[in-house]
Structure 1
């Protein structure tokens, strides 16, 4: 298969505990615990595949039982996995989260293997000769992200950036002046990158553009979302839904937006399709 999108970043197992009751610190409640393939880069790849794209994964997966099982599952999903770096001595990474009726309660991302292998995950790039969209997530180290931002191979690339979490948003600072990067963030992450809280998504998107970013898409839960681009600003409010899950919603939004643009959608239509995809995702009961 020939890829039409590269997804660079975390590929791991998600362990998600969900309960339909309101939770606080110290809560001990009944619910469901599931394990499934996850990680920001992988979530984007799986969603892009669902929208008809053919993603290739650039990440680190261990040569342990968990890694073999994960790669087999991804191959069955139609993802290109022979671009993965398989480590002989590092374990497959894992993410664990607890969600209640009131949203995400806590999460821990153990992406230490990805961080330790560094630029080894980029080795397939030269052989691929790729010129399509490249989704890049903030689980990579600050050093590697800074090198990618300055790497001539990425100077004209259609980079699509996801911070992975608010705690890693600052890792994407080197891309604020990149000439062709598109940043996907929520309002909190935008505020962290701008070092100041933002009143709403349109204002945050405009502020990111003013900092030199090529394009920015900012979401704010059920409130207005915005896309700022060289031609102007588009803002839309997502439709109201009953939220049953949150982990992976931003990745679904990003993948749907990329797929819409690859199919020729204009900025307004692409934003609308991405918001609808996220609404369907967060209101779904499936694991």
Structure 2
């Protein structure tokens, strides 16, 4: 008897190689300390997809990956984790993207995201959603979509207003505070659920914000349809026009930070896909993120 396929979710955005250096020492500019350096699949879309796969969903990747050996290796790694790569844009003249970060006991010290190939590919990664393969303007894709802010502002603006995305359950996260303003089209077009931290919310709202509840209110006033705002180990808030939930994340010893926000977002999507109410979904997402930053798996 054929087993039913897990539910699909589109993951649109950066899929690349993460090169992460981690040390147990406190670090500052110019520090030279012992530690471990690892290379593993990463990127916002990839981090979200990996967590979604652990929760029993089937991520379908829409991204740009080079046809270089690093790209072939990355495609193989995605397939081994249960991700669908059939719709990935493979360029023969763009290299596979990379991300490099250094983390110490006092958190993220510095990071460089080389996502130039994804940005150069632009709307080419969206072709399956407009040419009828996965959807079109006439018959838009109606399932969940996890979207990251590494895409260019024109591409994000297209997604925010295009009829091809009108029926999708868009879940949107900025790639970093420096790219938070790229989410402004989703405020202007009142589309999607935004996952941001307090700093990113302040950038979007162009004002100082003291708490995640304040940030949620400010984002809704500026046009957001629905928001989830986190602030490290302080209170997190989920809100829309129908109400809000504010919860305290678990207290844990932080051993890593890169990918924590992506884990939170994926766990929340998975919890809601399983039918949990908003308070339970937020609780489970915070718990998964806490386990992740403490060095464990999100489940």
TM-score range for the pair, normalised by the shorter chain length:
over 0.9
| Residue matched to 1:163 | 174
| Residue matched to 1:128 | 134
**What is the CA-CA distance between 1:178 and the residue it aligns to?**
3.3
Number of equivalent positions:
286
| Residue matched to 2:68 | 64
| Residues 139-148 or 21-30, more deviating | 139-148
| Residue matched to 1:280 | 291
For the Cα contact (< 8 Å) 2:160–2:191, is it kept in 1?
no
- What is the DSSP-based 3-state SS (H/G/I as helix, E as strand, rest coil) of the residue aligned with 1:176? helix
For the Cα contact (< 8 Å) 1:177–1:214, is it kept in 2?
no
**What is the CA-CA distance between 1:199 and the residue it aligns to?**
0.3
| Residue matched to 1:144 | 155
**1:234 corresponds to 2:245:** yes
- What is the DSSP-based 3-state SS (H/G/I as helix, E as strand, rest coil) of the residue aligned with 2:121? helix
Q: TM-score, normalised by structure 2?
A: 0.93
- Counterparts of 1:285 and 1:224, CA distance in 2: 22
**What is the CA-CA distance between 1:120 and the residue it aligns to?**
0.5
**What is the CA-CA distance between 1:68 and the residue it aligns to?**
0.3
Could you give the per-residue CA deviations for residues 116-152 of structure 1, whole angstroms, max 9, x where no partner exists? 0111101112311331111111100111111211211
1:218-257 pair list within 5 angstroms: 218-257=229-268
For the Cα contact (< 8 Å) 1:244–1:285, is it kept in 2?
no
1:262–1:173 CA distance, 2 compared to 1 (3 A) = same
| Residue matched to 2:22 | 18
| Residue matched to 1:217 | 228
- Counterparts of 1:93 and 1:285, CA distance in 2: 26
- Counterparts of 2:89 and 2:265, CA distance in 1: 24
For the Cα contact (< 8 Å) 1:249–1:282, is it kept in 2?
yes
**What is the CA-CA distance between 1:285 and the residue it aligns to?**
6.0
From 48, 51, 54, the counterpart of 1:47: 51
1:87-102 pair list within 5 angstroms: 87-102=91-106
From 53, 77, 84, the counterpart of 1:73: 77
| Residue matched to 1:178 | 189
Q: Which runs of 4+ in 1 moved over 2 A?
A: 177-180
- What is the DSSP-based 3-state SS (H/G/I as helix, E as strand, rest coil) of the residue aligned with 1:213? coil
- What is the DSSP-based 3-state SS (H/G/I as helix, E as strand, rest coil) of the residue aligned with 1:212? coil
| Residue matched to 2:115 | 111
**What is the CA-CA distance between 1:156 and the residue it aligns to?**
3.2
Unmatched 5+ stretches in structure 1: none
**What is the CA-CA distance between 1:229 and the residue it aligns to?**
1.7
- The root-mean-square deviation of aligned C-alpha atoms, in Å, is 1.2
- What is the DSSP-based 3-state SS (H/G/I as helix, E as strand, rest coil) of the residue aligned with 1:123? helix
For the Cα contact (< 8 Å) 2:143–2:167, is it kept in 1?
no
**1:262 corresponds to 2:266:** no
Unmatched 5+ stretches in structure 2: 136-140
**What is the CA-CA distance between 1:3 and the residue it aligns to?**
5.7
For the Cα contact (< 8 Å) 2:6–2:56, is it kept in 1?
no
- What is the DSSP-based 3-state SS (H/G/I as helix, E as strand, rest coil) of the residue aligned with 1:52? coil
